[in-house]
Amino acid sequence: MQTVVIPPHRLVFVETEPARCVFNLTEGVVKIYKMLPDGRRQVTGFIFPGDFLGLVQSPFYAYTAETVTEAKLCQFPRKRLEALLDKLPDLGDRLLGMASHELAIAQEQMILLGRKSARERVASFFLMLSKAAQRRGEQGNPISIPMQRGDIADYLGLTPETVSRTISRFNAQRLIQIKDDEQVSIVDPVALYKVAAGALRDAELGV
């Protein structure tokens, strides 16, 4: 086991590459994504401190991982992990719990991608960021948005332009207040929740 620090916008590992190590993120943000042959990209998740990375059964990584900010990672050789698994059966339970949790998140993301409008997606994204920040002990408001618009777009199944427009509109409608590209405060959390769930239409907000 070994700690590594990786600068922003660097690959941690690449899809289809042999899965030699498992990582635990201690600082920073990492995005994971898959690509289509023609270059289209889907960001399948963002990894925050405390989360694991590269936990797969198969001998190859199923996705690419890339730092968003500078990241500090604990690196375990997979073989070591397997040996540990034999000694500590409780560890297997925890891994199963984590996989189960990730699966639930993945299904939530499917309903977002398959059935939500652009504004519902962006509202859901802000709330996700806020909850993720709270889960690691920070206050959920204002939220820091370390990833760039293109990453958000590829996470939400939109274009960067649509993400930008939607954020601007939320700002004009006083749901949020934009400080800068990376900092947004939630002005009306209740309304934002309603928008995310599709219970509050654009027309009802004026502007």
Partner DNA sequence: CGAGCGATTGAACGCTCTCAAAGTGAGTGG
Partner DNA sequence: CCACTCACTTTGAGAGCGTTCAATCGCTCG
Both tokens assigned to 7: 């600068």
Cis amide prior to 142 (ω within 30 degrees): yes
Min dist. Cβ of residue 39 to DNA (A): 11
Which entry of DNA, a second copy, none binds 117, CB below 5 to 8 A by partner kind? DNA
- The interface with DNA within residues 170-189 (CB under 7 A) comprises 178, 180-181
Angstrom distance (rounded) from CA 28 to CA 4: 12
- Interacting stretch for DNA, rule CB under 7 A, among 74-82, 98-106, 112-120, 186-194? 112-120
Which entry of a second copy, DNA, none binds 58, CB below 5 to 8 A by partner kind? a second copy
Angstrom distance (rounded) from CA 15 to CA 51: 19
> Closer to DNA at the Cβ: 73 or 145?
145
Min dist. Cβ of residue 166 to DNA (A): 8
> Closer to DNA at the Cβ: 65 or 68?
68
Closest CA to 48 of 130, 108, 123: 130
Angstrom distance (rounded) from CA 41 to CA 75: 26
Closest CA to 8 of 25, 22, 29, 26: 29
* Residue 205 binds to DNA (criterion: CB under 7 A): no
Helix, strand or coil, per DSSP, at residue 84:
helix
Is the distance from CB of 31 to CB of 71 less than 8 angstroms?
no
Is the distance from CB of 70 to CB of 5 less than 8 angstroms?
yes
* Residue 152 binds to a second copy (criterion: CB under 8 A): no
Residue type, 203: A
* Residue 38 binds to a second copy (criterion: CB under 8 A): yes
- Between the CA of residue 188 and those of 23, 118, 152, what are the distances in Å? 37, 19, 21
Min dist. Cβ of residue 14 to DNA (A): 19
* Residue 154 binds to a second copy (criterion: CB under 8 A): yes
> Closer to a second copy at the Cβ: 84 or 85?
85
Min dist. Cβ of residue 25 to DNA (A): 21
Binding footprint of a second copy on the chain (CB under 8 A): 34, 36-38, 40-42, 44, 55-58, 62-63, 85, 89, 92-93, 95-97, 99-104, 106-111, 113-116, 154, 156-157, 197-199
